[in-house]
Amino acid sequence: MSTTSPPQLTPEQLDAFGRELDAIRERVIADLGERDAAYIRRIIKAQRGLEVGGRTLLEVGFLPPAWLAGTAALSLSKILDNMEIGHNVMHGQYDWMNDQAVNGQAFEWDSACPSEQWRHSHNYMHHTHTNILGKDRDIGYGVLRMSEDQRWHPYYLGNPLYAVLLALFFQWGVALHDLEVDRVAAGKSSWKDKAGMLQAIWKKGRRQALKDYALFPLLAGPGAPFTFAGNLTANAVRNVWAFMIIFCGHFPEGTHEFTEEETEGETRGQWYVRQLLGSANLTGSPLFHVMSGNLSHQIEHHLFPDLPAHRYAELAVEVRAICERYGLPYNSGPLHKQFGSVVKKIVKLALPGSGGGDEPQEPPVKFQPKAARDERVPVAA
């Protein structure tokens, strides 16, 4: 695992880097308007159209062409719903529209995970503490060993198997994520505290399952098994796709992890650098970016999580140029390469040790000693 240390920036350089990114953000915020609103409405329209079309075709799923087309349309619909719409809307990217239909706190997605819990585990825990071991629970999702700094245990021999299962049932993995089952098992919290969350998951998951696995199949009468199989396949396609895109966001070769100590009291500039170093982009066509919910621009997403994601492609050009000027790495590659390195990591880390060379690892990034300032990160004004 060759994580070369990026160049050390002085506190002044870090501040300047942060200011440049702040300026991009402010410029986009001032420019939000009809274009962004029209975009998300168009995507929503496409998603609902695909869903109605797909489900209708699956009602006559005993005809093989209808089954194939219906399953494909429903898969695309679920991917759009969860990624380009759900994930991004729930980040508050469209809150400025003041429209309940795209309001971050009101939106529910077509997934077993209650949006309320997602917003906590993802928007807050993951985006604030990105790639900080022990704080960012997205590192391994409490199931996998995704970092050498997670201590090895014979349990992790099953790392590749767990990864396959997590990919197939990703929506349920995400649903259970915020429960922090591993912490309950370790006695750090109790099931009693989790009663409310369990109830919410049960309520949401049951309605999701009822719709996909009972009601729509029953409406198809004797064709029920075909509808059932189509819905099951669409959920699985969405699960595997989401797993691949999300695991390519922070685990490909070259992404960095951080310790709580080194990120203590970080400045805005350092926060930006951590987001940059902890994230990796995917290259591809415009359609690929849409189908990834623009999480293919994971770096831009982590720098600006609440800017409408369809703008990331434009911003990426500027962000990349800025990173080059500061000599900071910008991790980007095609899906097969990035995901290949993720798979390699999952397999290697099933075994004890780093799985790589025997050389002791440099800490991935060292910030300059904390400057004599104690300001909270955001409040620069």
Partner 1 sequence: MFTQTPQRFARRLLGSALADALTTPHGIDRYVELVRPAFSLHEVRAEVVAVRRATARSVTLALRPNDNWEGFRAGQFVRLSTAVGGVRHTRCYSPASSAHVGELIELTAHAQPDGVVSPFLRASARPGTVVSLSQAEGDFALPDERPDELLLISGGSGITPVMSMLRTLCHEGYRGRVAFLHYARDEHDVAYRRQLAELAAGHANVRLLYGYSRQSGAGELHGRFERAHLRAAEVDPAEALTFACGPTALLDTVRETWADDGLEERLHVEQFTAPARAQVDGAGHVAGSLRFVRSGVEAAGTAAPLLEQAEAAGLTPQSGCRMGICHTCTCRKLEGAVRDVRTGEISTAPDELIQICVNAPVGDVTLDI
Task: Work out whether 49 is an interface residue with partner 1 (CB under 8 A).
Answer: yes
Task: Work out whether 249 is an interface residue with partner 1 (CB under 8 A).
Answer: no
Task: Work out whether 48 is an interface residue with partner 1 (CB under 8 A).
Answer: yes
Task: Work out whether 32 is an interface residue with partner 1 (CB under 8 A).
Answer: yes
Single out the residue of 13, 20, 22, 68 in contact with partner 1 (rule: CB under 8 A).
Answer: 22
Q: What are phi and psi of 281, to 5 degrees?
A: -100, 160
186-245: contacts with partner 1 (CB under 8 A): 204, 207-208, 210-211, 215-216
Single out the residue of 8, 10, 52, 375 in contact with partner 1 (rule: CB under 8 A).
Answer: 52
Q: What are phi and psi of 266, to 5 degrees?
A: -70, 150
Cβ–Cβ under 8 Å, residues 330 and 324: yes
- With CA atoms as reference, report the closest residue to 259 among 145, 131, 374: 131
Which helix (DSSP H) or strand (DSSP E) does residue 334 occupy?
A: strand 332-334
Task: Work out whether 265 is an interface residue with partner 1 (CB under 8 A).
Answer: no
Distance CA 379, CA 376 (A): 6
Distance CA 278, CA 364 (A): 10
Instruction: Pick the closer one to partner 1 by CB: 123 or 354.
Output: 123
Burial of 240 (0-12, 13-18, 19+ CB in 10 A): middle
Task: Work out whether 20 is an interface residue with partner 1 (CB under 8 A).
Answer: no
Q: What is the rounded (10 degree) CA torsion for 340, 123, 79, 215?
A: 130
Which segment (98-106, 134-142, 156-164, 310-318) binds partner 1 by CB under 8 A? 98-106
Taking the CA atoms of the chain, what radius of gyration do you get in angstroms? 21
Task: Work out whether 108 is an interface residue with partner 1 (CB under 8 A).
Answer: yes
- CB 51, min distance to partner 1, A: 8
Task: Work out whether 26 is an interface residue with partner 1 (CB under 8 A).
Answer: yes
Residues near partner 1 (CB under 8 A) are 22, 26, 29, 32-38, 44-45, 48-49, 52, 91-92, 95-99, 101, 103-105, 108-110, 119-120, 123-124, 127-128, 204, 207-208, 210-211, 215-216, 305-306, 376-381
